[in-house]
Amino acid sequence: MEEKLKQIKSSCKRVVLYGPESTGKTTLARKLSAHYKAPWVPEFARDYLQKIWDQEKRICEPKDLLPIAVGQMKAENDLAKKSNSLLICDTNLFETMVYSKYYYGGTCDPLLEKYAIENSYDLYLLTNIDIPWVKDDLRDKPHERDESFQIFKEELVKNNIPFKIVDGDFEKRFGICKNFIDELIKDV
């Protein structure tokens, strides 16, 4: 199991869009991927949990977190092998760990937590909650956005992970991300 959660070595710069639900991560990932002609790693949990919802009408449970983490890392590692300069990640194991702690009383599978912290990224872009919350089958915390943003931010700080906050409307967010990524890859 450990090998399935471990990030492979790669020469590409890894950028992760990280933050609470409904903060524009997927929209930004798609747009940044198109702009830089770089692969992007979709959020594995979204399809996995939507399938569970559609088939069983249940939401995420702790037993789902390791399969989600394995699927996320497989997708990321597969694309990292093919990318030689930039990889855009729409979430990562660190985000899965934060959600686990947020939803399940501060607990997280020790193996998931280990690799959430050990796997490294060149740039964390923390998406702020200053855009409208959009309802779907999987989102469930429209009134806890301030609290969830603080939790996401505090976990980065607690683990000494540098990050940049991305806020404003979608065009401003794209510009902010682009500026940070341009700085990251200027010498590549």
Q: Could you state, in order of their start, the residue ranges of all structural domains in the chain? A: 2-185
Looking at residue 140, its pLDDT comes to: 63
Looking at residue 152, its pLDDT comes to: 95
Looking at residue 135, its pLDDT comes to: 67
**For the chain, what is the mean pLDDT?**
93
pTM of the complete model: 0.93
Task: Render pLDDT for 83-113 as a digit per residue (tens, 0 to 9).
Answer: 989 999 999 999 999 999 998 999 999 999 9
Strand partners, 14: 87
Instruction: Tokens 């794209």: give the residue.
Output: 174
Express as a percent the part of the chain with pLDDT over 90. Answer: 81
Average pLDDT estimate for 172-184: 98
Dihedral of alpha carbons 50, 51, 57, 63, sign: negative
**pLDDT band, very low/low/confident/very high, at 173 (cuts 50, 70, 90):** very high
Task: Check whether 59 has a pLDDT greater than 60.
Answer: yes
* Alpha-carbon gap, residue 20 to 11, rounded angstroms: 29
Q: Residues 14, 75: contact at Cβ < 8 Å?
A: no
Q: Residues 97, 112: contact at Cβ < 8 Å?
A: yes
CATH of 2-185, one of 3.40.50.300, 3.40.800.10, 2.60.120.10, 3.90.1530.10: 3.40.50.300
Closest CA to 60 of 100, 23, 18: 100
Least confident of 81-95, 123-137, 158-172: 123-137
